[in-house]
Structure 1
Amino acid sequence: MRAVVARRYGGPEALELMEIDKPEPGAGSVLIRVKAAGVNPVDRHVVAGHLDSILEVSLPLVPGFDVAGVIEAVGPGVTEFSAGDEVFGYVRTEQVQHGTYAEFVAAPVHTIARKPASLTWQQAAGLPLVGLTALQSLSRVGARSEETVLVHAAAGGVGSVAVQIALARGARVIGTASERNHEFLRSLGAEPVVYGDGLAERVRELAPEGVDAAVDCVGGDAVVVSQELLKDPSRVASIVDPEVTQRGGHQVWTQPDPSDLAALASLADAGDLTVHIDRVLPLAEAADAFRLSETGRVRGKIVLEIG
């Protein structure tokens, strides 16, 4: 099968399109014929060797955690799925080596769920990691109906999904973004503000009494600013700033969870959640996908089309 492989650590130049052996599904796993694979910033960091202290990474490495595709075969003991089922998932296992930038991937059943019928293959492939991250972040800070939620980097992959989930819960959402993304945020239902110096004052113009919960998807001083605005300083979650825990908030390290994936699928099929695709590229252009991701100017998601 064709797969993108990194035989050494490095940047986009370390990625090669190669023929490798097709995996076999072990006990409790399924073999997925991949239709599309989502590209996330974490993929670049894995290939660069930046996460070796957190994850057990082995070379040669096929990058990628996000997948959408059709089950080709099931392994021993699998009763939840059958060949032909359409699924999507966040395929992160204890050993990071056999990822989703490939024509086939073996996935443990706890990392997948049935694909939302309302989403395209590309959208479904772009949802798992950002969707789980957004959902688990909002759950951690307890965002509820009629509360005001501040989302930093609200036009990005995680941020744009967090906006939609919070709105679906009945919350009011204020989102930070560059001015070029303000109309996009309004189209989602958020109230946009420009990030940077003076952010706290701009948010208070919209919410004079402050905000109830905050999700940080950008880092920098976002946690500090959030806590200036929060009624309860502990109700901030960050996906990028490890110091948030020292300030009494929550750091979110996304976990595969089939029930959370199913909840995301339900939101999508109810019309409350969609995935904005910034760019779709063929598998052979995975290195270009990394370069685009490095710019930090992606609105929504980059996806590799495979099957």
Structure 2
Amino acid sequence: MVHAIGVTEPGGPDALVELDLEPEPLGPGQVRIRVTSAAVNPTDTLVRSRPRQGEADGVRVPGMDVAGTISEIGPDVDRPFQIGDAVMAIVVPSGEHGGYRSDLVVPARSVAKIPAGLPDAEAATVPMNGLTAQLALDTLALPAGATVAVTGAAGTLGGYFVQLAKLAGLVVVADAAPQDEEFVRSCGADVVLPRGDGFVAEVRRLYPHGVDGLLDAAVLDAAALPAVKDGGTLVTVRGWQGDGTDRVRVAPIFVRGYAEEAEKLDRLAELAGDGRLTLRVAGQPPAAEAADAHRSLEKHGVRGRFVLRFA
């Protein structure tokens, strides 16, 4: 049996319980991972609390980021993996299939080797948020020298986005609370403005016509629109599709569409390994303490990710 953390009835953090599940079958193009670390993300709280969608949704395992070692390789895998390789992976959760389990089968193209010397707990914070940041950049499709803003810059997604945007040659305008300014500047932000209600007004003061694009990692939705110039792009991460006007292109992104972008995941692993991505782990509780990690996450203000440890 496989040790997992999940819910049988949706609810708050206390709905998370330890489960014994059957191993998942291994198919073509897939690998099996012995999971040692699983990052806790805000999306996991939605999986935990979402109302049941029928009897088939009776057991639900959250988790979109894992790290561990490859224990089995299926046929027709076109990635250079061997048994025992240390890897990180993005997971698209569905029912019993999620990152909070000690044995997990995923497409090989959702997996990347962990660079030598990088701890698995840190590596587990990269795949989902890193790919989301890259997807946002690709969706904005801005040329080098363009100006991009980001809300929620001190968060995991926001921090990765700032660093990837600088690598792409963009001018980055970011928000930050006073205690986060040093971190956001260390990520390479060119302009750091106070987060909160005045952020958009400050952007327009500095850039009277607005910035070329914006990633709304803080989920401001309509409140972020005035920061973007006419014809610019606002990327959203929770499905918001705009206010019905067409002055700004609003582009919702969903990382599950990038879950098998193997080459992009390989590059993120390389950047993490050589220190060009800043990895932050808020704590490493045992998997059995997942409820406590969810409670801490929902208090907001947590920097970095809690990473559940599986024996």
- Fold equivalence (TM over 0.5): yes
2:15 equivalent to 1:14: yes
Q: Displacement, 1:136?
A: 0.1
Cα shift readout 1:238-265 (whole Å, capped 9, x = no counterpart): 1025133845310001120212211212
* Amino acid in structure 1 at the alignment position of 2:267: A
Determine whether 1:193 maps to 2:197. Answer: no
Unaligned runs of 5+ in 1: none
Q: Which residue of 2 aligns with 1:261?
A: 265
Q: Check if 1:244 corresponds to 2:245.
A: no
Contact 1:4 / 1:101 at 8 angstroms: preserved in 2? yes
For residues 162 and 28 of structure 2, the distance between their equivalents in structure 1, rounded to whole angstroms, comes to 37
Classify the secondary structure of the residue corresponding to 1:242: coil
Q: Alpha-carbon deviation of 1:37?
A: 0.7
Counterpart residue type for residue 244 of structure 1 = G
Q: Root-mean-square deviation (CA), in Å?
A: 2.4
On the 8 A contact 1:245/1:251 being kept in 2, the answer is no
Matched with 1:230 is 228
> 1:118 Cα deviation (Å)?
5.3
Deviations 1:197-239 (A, max 9, x none): 3222322454455322210012235x443x3232344411010
**131-140 or 107-116, which moves further after superposition?**
107-116
Percent identity over paired residues: 35
Aligned length: 302
What amino acid is the match of 1:203? V
CA distance in structure 1 between the aligned counterparts of 2:30 and 2:58, rounded to whole angstroms: 22
Q: 1:173 to 1:57 in 2, by over 3 A?
A: farther
Asked whether the equivalents of residues 212 and 232 of structure 2 are also in contact (C-alpha less than 8 Å), the reply is no
What letter corresponds to residue 13 of structure 1 in structure 2? D
Q: Which residue of 1 aligns with 2:116?
A: 117
Alignment of 1:122-201 (within 5 A): 122-190=121-189, 191-201=191-201
SS of alignment partner, residue 249 of structure 1: strand
Contact 1:186 1:192 in 2 (8 A): yes
Counterpart check, 1:87 vs 2:87: yes
Structure 2 residue corresponding to 1:279, chosen from 274, 277, 283: 283
Equivalent residue for 2:294, pick from 273, 286, 290: 290
Q: Conserved in 2, the CA contact under 8 Å of 1:239 and 1:252?
A: yes
In structure 1, how many angstroms separate the alpha carbons of the residues matched to 2:69 and 2:265?
Answer: 16
**2:145–2:169: 8 Å Cα contact kept in structure 1?**
yes
| TM-score normalised by L of structure 2 | 0.88
Aligned to 2:75: 76
Aligned to 1:211: 211
Q: Compared with structure 1, are the counterparts of its residues 259 and 59 closer, same or farther at alpha carbon in structure 2 (3 Å cutoff)?
A: farther
Q: Secondary structure at the match of 2:89?
A: strand
SS at match of 2:288: helix
Instruction: Specify the SS of the correspondent of 2:276.
Output: coil
CA separation in 1, counterparts of 2:130 and 2:253? 13
